[in-house]
Amino acid sequence: MDLFEAIKNRRSIRSFEDRPVPEDLIKKIIEAGQWAPSACNRQDWKFIIIDSKEVKEKLLKGTTAYFVGKAPLLILVVYSNRTDNLEYKDHLLSAAMAIQNMQLAAYASGLGSCCVNNLPIKSGLRKILNIPRHYDPVSLICFGYPRVVPKPLRRKEQLTEIISWNSFNFKDDFPAIDLKLQVKRIIRYIYYRLPASLKKLLDPVARKFEKRFDK
């Protein structure tokens, strides 16, 4: 498959067929992540494959991304946070490059995927998966054979609108004080820290505010 074809046609998939992903394909996807660039070539990533129903149920108690429970394969990407570059958090950049490789490899292999960051609070996620504190959970990726492959979405802006030379020469139309954003941040902060029993009671409300997608 042509690389640019994969980049332009890959879409996030949230509805999967009920069939498992072969182990050799799982390893192929992770190997693609392993060959990504990393800051100072540290290659400090780890990949946790989640196929246990019990573990999935624990994860679902802390997320409104309900399609997670129906994905045949879940892989959590974690990366060592023992970096001295806290200014740019290069460990997150390194993990993100691995994740992109994995999603492109999955698409080229006929699989769909979706990154999920609506997860239990990190301390809770560490407890569920026994992750040491010097590793940061970066993203959970759902994989599987897609029920439907959506068409590519047009980009929101023309290429000429997102390029400038030598300085930031773009119209900045964000409000100086965005109260709506601040409220959403506070609500999310509180929601992450609620006990699972209370989250379950709030599920009907949370579902109303969950972002909807076509597939």
Buried b (16+ CB within 10 A) or exposed e, 19-43: eebeeebbeebbebbeebebbeeee
What is the pLDDT, as a whole number, of residue 138?
96
Instruction: Give strand pairing partners of 80.
Output: 135
Any idea which residue has 């490899």 for tokens? 105
Per-residue pLDDT of the chain (215 residues; tens, 9 = 90+): 789 989 999 999 999 999 999 999 999 999 999 999 999 999 999 999 998 889 988 888 777 677 888 899 999 999 999 999 989 999 999 999 999 999 999 999 999 999 998 888 888 899 999 999 999 999 999 999 999 888 888 888 888 888 999 888 888 778 888 888 898 889 878 877 877 777 667 766 666 666 665 54
Per domain, the residue ranges of the chain are: 3-209
Q: What is the pLDDT of residue 210?
A: 62
Measured CA to CA, the distance from residue 206 to residue 191 in angstroms comes to 10
| Residue 94 and residue 46 in contact, taking contact as beta carbons nearer than 8 Å | no
Q: Where are the beta strands (DSSP E) in the chain?
A: 45-50, 73-80, 112-116, 135-144
Q: Does 3.40.109.10 match the CATH number of domain 3-209?
A: yes
Helix (H, G, I), strand (E, B), or coil: what is residue 202?
Answer: helix
